[in-house]
Chains A and B, each alone.
Chain A
Amino acid sequence: MVKPILKFAVSLLITIKVIYLLNTSPAEWLIIGSRLKDSPAAMLPPVGKFLDPFNGFWQNAEGAIPVLPQTATLKELQAPVEVVFDDRLVPHIYAQNEHDLYFMQGYITATQRLWQMEFQTHAAAGRISEIVGNKAIEFDREQRFKGMTSSAERLVEAMKSDELVHSITNAYADGVNAYISQLSYKDLPIEYKLLNYQPEPWTTVKSALLQKKMADDLTGNNSDIQLSNIVTVFGKSAADLLYPEFIEGQDPIIPAGTKWDFTPVEVKKSNASVKDTTKTGYNFPLDHRGTRLSAPQPQTEPTVGSNNWAVSGSKTQSGKPILCNDPHLQLNLPSIWYETQLSAPGINVYGVTIPGGPGIVIGFNENIAWGVTNAGVDVKDFYNISFKDNTKTEYRYNNTWKASTQRIETIKVRHEPDVIDTVTYTHLGPVAFEDYGEYKQNLAMRWKAHEPSNEFKTFYLLNRAKNYSDYEAALAFYECPAQNFVFADKDGDIAIWQQGRYPLRYKEQGKFILDGNKPEDEWQGFIPKEQTPHIKNPQRGFVSSANQHPTDATYPYYYQSNDFEFYRNRRINRRLAEMNKITPQDLQKLQLDNYNLQAAESLPIMLSYLKPDELNEVETTVFNALQSWDYYNDADALAPSLYENFWQSLLADIWDELGNRPDNLAMVYPENGITIQLMDKQPNHEFMDNLSTPERETLADLVKPAYSKSIVALAKWAEANLKPTDWGNFKGTSILHLARIGAFSKTDVYCGGNYGVVNATGKRAGPSWRMVVAFTDNGIEAQGVYPGGQSGNPGSPNYTKFVDTWAKGEYYPLRFVKTPDAFKTGESFAVQQFNPTKN
């Protein structure tokens, strides 16, 4: 009797042990788990659970046409809702009231993009370490010190006083949660299974975090520290030369010479922190912080920007306006955008939305169309703070001591103890840089994004706007991140408005680090809404923006940015000015325009320093190729690769003073336009000198070595990558998965363009949505495309479905359909009816 029992017991124990090992992640295994720590095995999901065909990853292997139930019951609904998924999987939501509309928007968006929605808000809140472990701690800390969550919480508090926005954000959250509550392990998005964690309930704070994340992406870039270093090291006159307020030849958004018909608010002058005494402005240079970051979501690259324009009927073939927009953002998968049509009594709007927020951000309705580009105007300043002692509980303000507050930040780290940090808040904002650099500086950050503002309301109203005055009323609520809202309507009006809440500044206030002790260095107030730059129906018959200066120098307020565009905007305006009888196809071509104006203005200068008799055979071939180049950055052209290498090589040699400094001080390159003007007009300027040599170089001495170096570098690239060096290959646009999972990314997408080119497709950023909206006698005709797909599931063919179309420069017709039964055969994949529970 004993023997069979023993046999059975041993077999049972082995079975249980095997199941245990396969049902838990290796990092959680007894004894072994803690030893795995940083090895790849520690990140493995529970192997058996993950591989199980009935519940594991195999369940995320979707077919081309997803299987959707024809009817479903959602008890929170007030009335039935019909959702049509069209042939590109765009949901068209037809609801009978506003609650149901935003509830269903949340629900449907979550069915396709849940993981992305949550991951992006976790990233904004500095909670990535919870998912990926200790490698994200620095990234999370950075987010906490920027005060992202505290400002999102303040926004939610503020929204409570606006009944409308409060109810739509809550309806949206309820919709997301209705979906989350249905999910078992089997239904979870693949990333949850792979990274072995669970979605948590959606909240309005998460929608607010998303809004703050956009503000961070679009206004987070800042050069106060770098410019302060430059003034300290090179003096004020160098800073004036390299980082001027305006650039000669600029073509602003509001045409130069436009008169300002308002009386500006008075701005108090200040004892400027920077005096024009060379090299003594500051004595606390700061070293480079960026290198400390090892973020799973790298910093937004400088190629982020956007184009938009609207042409009036006087310039179009149809006699009615056409509006275009292509926001250039970091290219990720799942895509930042999700196409949706929202329809309910009082609203019928189509466009793209950012998963996680209610409403449509860029799009059109039956009466108007609108689009946005980033303003890029600086709304983030740093103040030097002197604390009384190490407790940091009091700091110097107006020559007395003022109490600070402290917020404990607990960063949860996967498989490891929590990291606890304290962020100190002054009345200006959080001390984002603490005991920083050689001089132990403390810098408090004053940032517009820290203040609550009601951007959701702007989009709520824009989605329903019927005309110019509705558009103007909608913009009144919009504060940050400041955008150029381009507008066109069916009655023929076109307009553009740079809307954002800007601090009143004395000249150069906030260009450099300010003094936290001085009340006069604080923001004095804000530019009144009606005085922000805008124009309606200008004489030239079009409005446009491409992240350039909003105005010429006659605008009565001081503003600044570290990256105003100088090339795309001039090319767009030049083309729009010469075009007539414009069709939507003409404007698609303009969105895809690969003309490299920067090359056209810099390459002749560069080539003029090369003497043909000093070139070897290869160098001569390259010289001829560059000389005969038409300046188009087409994918199959070779010259753009040659130019870009030559330019980068020369740029690094010219600015050896700024890049790779032995003392590691943080500095920033001037705009390329400034460098090119300097090359043209002052080729013997002292900045042309190479500091590492005893000789005094001029531009003439730099060009040939940079040229030869660049040709060698390109040849090496070809050898290492076993690929021809035509531009599409060499540039190799990458669209990376948000958590940087290589297998879920798409790399080496072959296409033309570049930064500074209207088709601003760079290595990692580019047109994240191309939209062309034409008003016609038969209503709206719109086309669009984005580099991704409606499905957020890497296991679905719809995950990257639009990428090839986008890379080829093609568009899809956007199906703006008034009622669910008006779809033609073949235009829809599935119709879903959602009913509230019957009593």
Chain B
Amino acid sequence: MKTTPIIAILSAISAWLFPWWSVAIAAGLVGVIANLKNAAIAYAAGFAGVGLAWSSYIIYLNFQNQGLLLSKIAEAFSLPASGYLIALTILIGSIVGGFGCMTGVLLRRVIEKGRSQNP
């Protein structure tokens, strides 16, 4: 599966340049272009791709900050441990990435059907 790292790279670039939810569009684009077998696989690819991008960046940010802000924000939200906040962050990116990629694949199906009906 080459799709996941491609989504990871594309979604990182788009989140760097555009609002956070642009990761859905990035994952969706990959979904349109890459020939994925079905919606479930597309969802998994988007989920893993954005999750990979977000988790690697978080690990770096948290390392250079030595977990200082992470623990404060976890406390502000009354979370029992910092890990919940990391998981929540990655989960949100992943879910949005998953839906984005899935929507992309389903769009591809619409286009494919359109072509096959009007050759």
Most chain B Cβ neighbours within 10 Å, of A12, A53, A60, A743: A53
A1-B39 CB under 8 A given contacts A57-B69, A743-B72, A797-B68 = no
What residues on B are CB-neighbors of A8 within 8 Å?
Answer: 103, 106-107, 109-110
A1-59, CB < 8 A from B: 1, 4-5, 7-8, 11-12, 14-15, 18-19, 22-23, 47-49, 51-59
- Distance in Å from the Cβ of A795 to the closest Cβ of chain B? 3
CA distance A167 to B87 in the complex (A): 51
Contact A53 B99 (CB under 8 A): no
Nearest-CB residue, chain A, relative to B13: A54
Q: Decide yes or no whether A742 CB sits under 8 A from chain B.
A: yes
Most chain A Cβ neighbours within 10 Å, of B71, B75, B103: B103
Q: Decide yes or no whether A194 CB sits under 8 A from chain B.
A: yes
Contact A47 B106 (CB under 8 A): no
Contact B57 A53 (CB under 8 A): yes
Q: Among A48, A61, A797, which residue has its beta carbon within 8 angstroms of that of B96? A: A48
Q: Among B20, B54, B72, B114, which residue has its beta carbon within 8 angstroms of that of A795? A: B72
Contact A795 B76 (CB under 8 A): no
A15-B103 CB under 8 A given contacts A48-B92, A53-B61 = yes
Instruction: Please report A residues at the B interface, Cβ cutoff 8 Å.
Output: 1, 4-5, 7-8, 11-12, 14-15, 18-19, 22-23, 47-49, 51-63, 190, 194, 741-744, 794-797
CA distance A801 to B13 in the complex (A): 34
What residues on A are CB-neighbors of B102 within 8 Å?
Answer: 11, 15
What residues on A are CB-neighbors of B103 within 8 Å?
Answer: 8, 11-12, 15
3 pairs of A and B residues whose beta carbons are closest in the complex: A795-B69, A52-B20, A61-B65
Summed over the interface, the residue pairs from A and B with CB atoms below 8 Å come to a total of 119
Contact A795 B65 (CB under 8 A): yes
Contact B15 A52 (CB under 8 A): yes
What residues on B are CB-neighbors of A49 within 8 Å?
Answer: 19-20
Instruction: Please report B residues at the A interface, Cβ cutoff 8 Å.
Output: 12, 15-16, 19-21, 24, 28, 39, 54, 57-58, 61-62, 64-66, 68-73, 75-76, 85, 88-89, 92-93, 95-96, 99-100, 102-103, 106-107, 109-110, 113-114, 117
What residues on B are CB-neighbors of A11 within 8 Å?
Answer: 39, 99, 102-103, 106
CA distance A53 to B56 in the complex (A): 10
A19-B21 CB under 8 A given contacts A7-B106, A61-B70 = yes
What residues on B are CB-neighbors of A741 within 8 Å?
Answer: 76
Contact A18 B99 (CB under 8 A): yes
Contact B61 A61 (CB under 8 A): yes
A794-B88 CB under 8 A given contacts A7-B39, A18-B95, A53-B58 = no
CA distance A57 to B68 in the complex (A): 12
Q: Among A7, A15, A54, A794, which residue has its beta carbon within 8 angstroms of that of B69? A: A794
Contact A57 B73 (CB under 8 A): yes
Contact A63 B76 (CB under 8 A): no
A1-B106 CB under 8 A given contacts A60-B69, A743-B73, A795-B65 = no
What residues on B are CB-neighbors of A59 within 8 Å?
Answer: 61
CA distance A60 to B99 in the complex (A): 28
CA distance A11 to B38 in the complex (A): 13
CA distance A57 to B64 in the complex (A): 14
What residues on B are CB-neighbors of A1 within 8 Å?
Answer: 113-114, 117
What residues on A are CB-neighbors of B92 within 8 Å?
Answer: 22, 47-48, 51
What residues on A are CB-neighbors of B12 within 8 Å?
Answer: 54
Q: Among B76, B88, B100, which residue has its beta carbon within 8 angstroms of that of A15? A: B100
